[in-house]
Structure 1
Amino acid sequence: MTVPLEYEKASENFFEYLVDARDIAGLWSTHVTYTMTQGVFHVFRRRISTSDAIAFSNILPVCLRSLFVADWDVNEEKKDFDSEEEMTREVRLLREEHNFSTVTAIKDVAKAVRKHVNEEVFDELLLKLPDGAFEFWRP
């Protein structure tokens, strides 16, 4: 069996995502975009169960999937979905001195992620997750 194309092109696809997210957010660097994406992922996964997070990550492209689960303390206290403002403040706490996430970081990442997933499958899963999950990823 050959290596699946999604793995063969993983780095290329990840960079395409970073460029899309950078441009959507109006940022100047894919490095800054990486931190913003990681922050948004951390905020989201704190609000869903581990099994829901695995289901969510399986819909993501390979490198985004990896970023979503990297350095995860699965015993971290779960939080409720909060206002977008409050969750955005939480996004900005990741590497605080080097985090230039936009005030629309969650929506910016949501819009970029949606360009790189099957939106129908993505929305189907989000509707099965706790209240707030679908709204979190609505661009």
Structure 2
Amino acid sequence: MPMPQEYFHASRDFEAFMEALRRISLLQTTHQCYTMVEAVFHALRCHMTPREALRFADHLPPVLRAIFVSAWDVEAPVLPLTDRAGLQREILALRHNHNLSTPSALEDVGAALHETMDTAEFHRLLEVLPREFASFWR
């Protein structure tokens, strides 16, 4: 079987995502964007069971999938669902001295995903995301 194209083009697709996120968020560098996307993914992940999180990750592009599951303590208790303000506080808590996430970090990451992913795959991603969170990306 040949190598899947999503792996063959993983770096190119990740760079496109990061550039889209930089443009959408108005952050200065993709390094700043990296911390923001990591914070958004980890904040979302804390509110999902491992099964839910892995279903979600399966629909992300490969490099973003790796970021989503990195440094994950699967034994940690699942936090109850929270509102947008609660998620924003969690996002800003990651490396708080070096985190320049925007007030619209949730929406910015969703917009960059929507822009750079296949439309059908993006909609499948929304279908497996908890409904309360999917509303941020619609």
Q: Which residue of 1 aligns with 2:75?
A: 75
Structure 1 position 79, deviation (Å): 1.6
Hey, what's the Cα distance between the residues in 1 that align with 2:97 and 2:82?
24
Hey, what's the Cα distance between the residues in 1 that align with 2:48 and 2:136?
12
Amino acid aligned to 2:19: V
Unaligned 5+ segments in structure 1 are: none
Q: Which residue of 2 aligns with 1:10?
A: 10
Unaligned 5+ segments in structure 2 are: none
Hey, what's the Cα distance between the residues in 1 that align with 2:56 and 2:36?
18
Q: Which residue of 2 aligns with 1:31?
A: 31
Hey, what's the Cα distance between the residues in 2 that align with 1:4 and 1:68?
20
Hey, what's the Cα distance between the residues in 2 that align with 1:4 and 1:132?
32
Most deviating of 5-14 and 36-45 = 5-14
Q: Which residue of 1 aligns with 2:93?
A: 93
Task: Check conservation: 1:6, 1:62, Cα contact below 8 A.
Answer: yes
3-state DSSP of counterpart to 1:132: helix
Task: Check conservation: 1:35, 1:99, Cα contact below 8 A.
Answer: yes
Amino acid aligned to 1:9: H
3-state DSSP of counterpart to 1:66: helix
Is structure 2 residue 51 aligned with structure 1 residue 51? yes
TM-score where L is the length of structure 1: 0.89
TM-score where L is the length of structure 2: 0.90
**Identity percentage over the alignment?**
36
Most deviating of 15-24 and 114-123 = 114-123
Amino acid aligned to 2:50: T
Task: Check conservation: 1:59, 1:117, Cα contact below 8 A.
Answer: no
Question: Size of the alignment, in residue pairs?
Answer: 138
Amino acid aligned to 1:84: R
Q: What do the CA deviations read for 1:24-60 (whole angstroms, capped 9, x no partner)?
A: 0010000000000000000111111111111111111
Q: Which residue of 1 aligns with 2:118?
A: 118
Structure 1 position 3, deviation (Å): 1.9
Superposed CA RMSD: 1.7
Amino acid aligned to 2:102: T
